[in-house]
Amino acid sequence: MQMFKRLLAILLLLIMVSACAKLPVESMSEVKDLMSRAYASGAEQHAPGEYQLASSALQAAELQVSNRDYAQAVKTLELAHRYADEALRITAEKNKLLALEAKRVAAKKKQAELKQEELQRQKNIVQQRQREELEKIRQAELKLQDVAPKVPVLVDEIVVKVGENLATIAARKEVYSDSLLWPLIYKANRDQIKSPEEIFSGQVFIVPRDKSNAEADAARHEAMELNLF
């Protein structure tokens, strides 16, 4: 009876040891899932030390499992779990900081763009005002041109038109604008004119421009005395 009790105790102990040292499937799966999440979040870059320790611990646990050293594998997986958690925590903090920095840079860029847009808007306003002022000046100049008397271009010679006489020629704006000055034309073109009353269309007469005021007054006096036209 005593022997049976001892065998039963040994059997219970073996069962307990066997239960404690079973294959850590769930722990292995959980650590691998943590490692995948850590890798996806960028832990390999942001927490390289912790990520590498977790990876090494996971590899060691896998080797221990293959050697059926389940008890040690459980402890190694706990270590891997702790390092993976730490890698995730550090990575989350750095990602948060990076996100804040990205928002700050984006806000600064947006502010610069808004400032540039405002400067361009102000520039456009100034340019528009300048264009409006130039247009006002141009319109004012056009009005002045319409109001101001047009100064005729004086000629040094003329062509006789059909139906003209020396008085109507002298009255032309580009000649003298004074019909009484016809004697000046007559005297300057005596080689072509036999009589003041006989001129012909197509003739080209010289228009003298070197006469003094006294000569002009004398011509007017002569025209009024002759009273030909």
Q: Which two tokens stand for residue 26?
A: 């769930």
Nearest to 186 by CA among 199, 176, 200, 173: 199
Q: Tell me the two tokens of residue 105.
A: 């840079």
pLDDT of residue 137: 92
Run of H or E including 205: strand 204-206
**Domain extents for the chain?**
16-98, 157-226
Look at residue 143 in the predicted model and tell me its pLDDT: 84
11 pLDDT above the threshold of 80: no
The 10s digit of each residue's pLDDT in 168-188 is: 999 999 999 999 999 999 999
Torsion angle defined by CA atoms of residues 58, 63, 69 and 71, in that order, rounded to the nearest 10 degrees = 0
Digit-coded pLDDT (tens) for 64-121: 999 999 999 999 999 999 999 999 999 999 999 999 999 999 999 999 999 999 999 9
Altogether, the residues listed in the chain come to a count of 229
pLDDT at 65: 93
Higher pLDDT, 164 or 151: 164
Q: How far apart are CA 91 and CA 97, in angstroms?
A: 10
Strand partners, 131: none
At residue 6, the pLDDT reads 41
Fold category of 157-226 in CATH: Membrane-bound Lytic Murein Transglycosylase D; Chain A (3.10.350)
The closest of 31, 43, 35, 34 to 92, measured between CA atoms, is 43
pLDDT digits (tens, 9 = 90+) for 26-54: 888 999 999 999 999 999 999 999 999 99
Q: Which of 23, 21, 42, 40 is CA-nearest to residue 32?
A: 40
